[in-house]
Chain A
Amino acid sequence: MTCRICEKDYSGIIYEDDDIIISLAEKPVALGHLKIFPKKHYTIMEQVPDDEIKTLFNTANKISTLLFESLQAHGTNIIVRNGIPAGQELSHFSIDIIPRRQSDNINFEWKPKRASPEQLEAVKKKLSETTSDISIGKSTETREIVSKKEDNKQETIKEQNGEKNYLIEALKRTP
């Protein structure tokens, strides 16, 4: 499968180095809507290693600051659309940086739902099973998958411990 970002088949590229590519968004929601991509191909955020996360989001922050200064934005949004249900457009991970202005017609306000303490407690319990395992800085299952993917052995990753391999599921769903 070819990737438009890896092939540089994307209009509006404004910067490129060994780590990142910055471009005007092809489908902008505002004037000055920019996108930043890692140079290496990752499909979803879960695959991006620590160092690259640091570089990408700190650059996104610099760009956001720039938009305040140079495009008279009064606010900015930094958004990751992770997976097709979240609106991801390309098979290459990216971050959207969007300058915001008064009455710009952008509506990112979600309808807040009511959640009872019991419902919240149930979600907390479910999530805590996984979040208690978070050990930042150590290698995770994700990185194993990434390294295997680089060897083109993606198909050989089996569902482990009878558990649904959600990452592979997610990869199948991405564009």
Chain B
Amino acid sequence: MPENITQEDLENMSPEEIIELQKKNCIFCKIIKNEIPSKKVYEDDYVSVILDINPASEGHLLILPKEHFMIMPNMPEELIGHMFIVARELSQAVLKTLDAEGTTIFAANGQIAGQKAPHFMIHVIPRKENDELFEFKEIKIPGEKLDKLQKMMKQIMPRLVTGRDIMAEEKPENEIPEYEAKEEPEQPKTEPKQEQPKEKSEQKPKEKIKHTPKETPDLDKISRLFLNK
């Protein structure tokens, strides 16, 4: 962080200003522009691939998008696709030329996830048996919590993946018969009541569409964390 910028300045900056500041001071942007020397092993119009100078294992590679992005959710789809295709090719190169028996493709969004610099990157890490580089410690999650999570995810996923609210599109057919069945015993009593359930069943699907607004994560906050480092 440049010395002439105070904590207070940072807090008053707009997200755009923060990103500009980040880009100006980004080591990896300088590496990409060859202003800082590095060991480049691959380059195309969109990415540069360099050797990590403090590798987890021999041949540890960093795939850097040439354009500065802090985290993956900010990146365009085409670039994400391209970066991981490059990751696949490099993984193949690592298996072919180095003494590796597997690879870990690793990406971190946010400092908490282990991201070290505010320039998004994908790591390709050559692996050998028993190298103990990564540990996946299984945790026990209570069945009740899991069921709840699974239910929630099942509801959100179709919309997330397809961009369409499939649940809401399908719901009306499923829900209307249910409402009618419930209200049926009341029907013979009076006529006005008969209209109420109808309204209800028409309104329900609309609410479903409204209740999943998509917001972007608090990128501003994440970027501040980096600069405060």
| Residues on A facing B (Cβ under 8 Å) | 12, 14-15, 17, 20, 22, 24, 27-32, 34, 45-46, 48, 50, 53-54, 56-59, 61-66, 68-70, 74-88, 98, 100-102, 104-115, 119-121, 123-124, 126-131, 134, 136, 140, 142, 166-167, 170, 173
Contact = CB atoms under 8 A, between A and B. Distances in A.
A48 B101 CA distance: 18
A109 B89 CA distance: 24
B102 interface: yes
14 contacts: A27-B138, A31-B139, A31-B145, A46-B92, A61-B73, A74-B110, A75-B113, A75-B115, A77-B114, A87-B136, A104-B112, A123-B58, A124-B40, A131-B93
Contacts of B59: 123, 126-127
Contacts of B97: 126-127, 129-130
A129 B59 CA distance: 13
B223 interface: no
Given A46-B95, A77-B107, A77-B108, A84 B102 contact: yes
Contact of A85 (B77, B101, B137): B101
A120 B39 contact: yes
B111 to A, nearest CB: 7
Given A53-B81, A57-B81, 11 more contacts: A27-B138, A45-B88, A45-B105, A46-B91, A61-B72, A75-B112, A82-B127, A86-B104, A86-B134, A108-B134, A131-B93
Q: Which 7 A-B pairs have the closest CB atoms?
A: A83-B102, A75-B110, A75-B113, A54-B81, A112-B54, A110-B56, A86-B102
Contacts of B214: 69
Interface residues of B, number: 87
A114 B42 CA distance: 22
Nearest to B61: A127
Main secondary structure of the interface of A (DSSP, over half): mixed
